[in-house]
Amino acid sequence: MSTFFTTNRHGYSVRFSPFNPDQFVVASSQFYGLAGGGTLYFLELTPDGCGIVEKRTHHWTDGLFDVTWSESNPEIIVSGSGDGSVQLWNTNQSGSNGPPAMVYREHKKEIYSVDWSKVPYEQLFISASWDSTVKIWDPIRTNSLSTYIGHTQLVYNAVFAAHIPNTFASVSGDGFLKIWDILCYDLPIASIKAHDGEVLTVDWCKHDSNILATGASDGLIRIWDLRNFGVPITELKGNEFAVRKVQFSPHNFSVLASVGYDFTTRIWDFKKSNEAIETIKHHSEFTYGLDWNRRRRNQLADCGWDSLVHVFKPDCLSDKI
């Protein structure tokens, strides 16, 4: 396991580069995101894989809560912040600590989620906000392309489908999971009360475009199939507190990872059991960020409010080819 310490910053999000298996970025905030500024850390694994080095940092005047890489340009990063703005950073144009190349200001409250479309010809990104809206953006335009109004409470997470064009999912404090066609922004194409509590996270299966997972303040993870959307196909139990993020493995169909407010990172295989196949306890505060490395099999990164960033391979996956 490799570890990095974000001094005086608390980790909210971590994302591996889609282009380089050794590079990743962390979005962080001062004072647990309640006050102060935010910092993006551009990090790289050492050649032996045992260390992490800081390549550059960029600062913003408010806390940074999420970050995503462009799927077409390895120099472009998008982040979302507590002041309701989205920042686009071009590392070719900005020196270390330099300002963003563009700033998008339309949301009225905190932005808790940003994601870049995985469909090659869709050069779009999405933002989800505590103002209860989701917006789609073209990075070269200063105004959003469309706004999606359907949730009655703050939206925690919105993510593009991995293989379905023009489609994203969103989850909210209202307990609903909604599926949207970006060309039909008046109403979602599907909607279900996914949890009794606030739904904090959603992700699409990388191997089956009909499968999604949600995680919520009730500590549960539920797996959904769009072909039979009325009830979850399974429910994963064991988290003591809220599930902050859930993400399917890009390498194994039924494997996913989660992090949460019980300070743990858990690995699940929903085809085998509704209990975690491994529970990792290497944080001492809320664990917020999580990402699988698409270009290095079974490698994970996580980060948390204890200022620690870890890169590791779960022991339970060591036998998976």
Closest C-alpha among 1, 2, 78, 6 to residue 285: 6
Q: Which residue has the tokens 């009325």?
A: 230
List the strands of the sheet with 23-29, edge to edge.
Answer: 10-16, 23-29, 38-45, 52-60
pLDDT, residue 259, reads: 97
3-state secondary structure of 31: helix
Read off φ and ψ for residue 160, nearest 5 degrees: -70, 145
Q: What percent of the chain has pLDDT over 70?
A: 98
Q: Which two tokens stand for residue 235?
A: 């429910």
272-305 as b/e: b if 16+ CB within 10 A: eeeebeeebebbeebbbbbbbbbebbbbbbbbbb
CA distances from 288 to 65, 98, 201 (A): 9, 26, 11
Q: How many CA atoms lie within 13 A of 42 on its CB side?
A: 21
Residue, of 202 and 229, whose pLDDT is higher: 202
* pLDDT(94) > 80: no
- How is 77-131 classified by DSSP, letter by letter? EEEEETTSEEEEEETTTS-TTPPPSEEEE--SS-EEEEEE--STT---EEEEETT
- CA separation for the pair 5, 28 (Å, rounded): 11
Q: What is the mean pLDDT of the chain?
A: 94
Q: Which residue has the tokens 């039909």?
A: 184
Q: Which two tokens stand for residue 199?
A: 């739904």
Task: Tell me, yes or no, if the pTM score tops 0.85.
Answer: yes
* pLDDT(96) > 70: no
Per residue in 169-217, pLDDT (tens digit) is: 999 999 999 999 999 878 999 999 999 999 999 999 999 999 999 999 9
* 8-state DSSP, 309: E
- Partners of residue 178 on adjacent β-strands: 170, 191
Task: Indicate the pLDDT class of residue 274, thresholds 50, 70 and 90.
Answer: very high
Q: What's the count of helices (H) and strands (E) in the chain, helices before strands?
A: 0, 28
Going from the N-terminus, what domains does the chain have, and what CATH number goes with each? 2-317 (2.130.10.10)
pLDDT, residue 270, reads: 96
Kindly report the three-state secondary structure assignment for every residue of 219-246. Answer: CCEEEEEHHHCCCCCEEECCCCCCEEEE
pLDDT, residue 10, reads: 96
Residue, of 29 and 98, whose pLDDT is higher: 29
Per residue in 277-303, pLDDT (tens digit) is: 999 999 999 999 999 999 999 999 999
